[in-house]
């Protein structure tokens, strides 16, 4: 048996206020809410990956997280809808790379704490 990691199961995002962040990730981005065991924790689903919203718990700093890139279809329309629901524009969608079988488009918004959130579409 090979001993290695496989899929990502969960990603933690450090935020200043979980209830406010939950509104952004659930209502603005449209992620599926799973559960909230405490006021300082909330869990959502992005496809097969669980997203954990948490206040700083001895590690992590608000607004200084790794960038999450969410796959979308019709990136321009999704970007516009997310901004209309309250996301802060960082960079509108644009062609990032022309691959042999698709064009990679990327756009960025920020959540309430300034965390960068990427949107990506592989246009074929």
Instruction: Kindly state the average pLDDT of the residues 79-90.
Output: 96
pLDDT in tens, 37-48: 999 999 999 999
Instruction: Kindly state the average pLDDT of the residues 98-112.
Output: 94
pLDDT in tens, 15-28: 999 999 999 999 99
Per-residue pLDDT at 5 exceeds 90: no
Q: What pLDDT, on the 0 to 100 scale, is given for residue 1?
A: 67
Instruction: Kindly state the average pLDDT of the residues 76-105.
Output: 96
pLDDT in tens, 47-82: 999 999 999 887 778 888 889 999 999 999 999 999
b or e along 1-11 (b: 16 or more beta carbons within 10 Å of the residue's beta carbon)?
eeeeeeeeeee
**E strand or H helix that includes residue 84:** helix 75-84
Task: Please give the model's pTM, rounded to 2 decimal places.
Answer: 0.85
Q: Which residues contact 56 (CB under 8 A, 6 or more apart)?
A: 14, 62
Per-residue pLDDT at 6 exceeds 90: no
Q: What pLDDT, on the 0 to 100 scale, is given for residue 2?
A: 77
The mean predicted confidence, pLDDT, of the chain is 93
29: tokens are 């981005």
């Amino acid at each position: 048996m090979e001993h290695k990691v496989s899929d990502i199961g969960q990603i933690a995002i450090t935020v200043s206020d979980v209830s406010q962040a939950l509104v952004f990730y659930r209502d603005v981005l449209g992620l599926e809410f799973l559960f909230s065991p405490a006021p300082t924790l909330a869990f959502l689903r992005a496809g097969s990956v669980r997203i954990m919203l948490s206040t700083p718990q001895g590690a992590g700093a608000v607004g200084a997280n790794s960038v999450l890139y969410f796959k979308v279809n019709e990136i321009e329309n999704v970007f516009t809808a997310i901004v209309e629901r309250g996301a802060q524009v960082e960079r509108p969608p644009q062609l990032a790379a022309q691959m042999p079988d698709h064009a990679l488009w990327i756009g960025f918004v920020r959540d309430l704490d300034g965390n960068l959130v990427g949107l990506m579409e592989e246009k074929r």
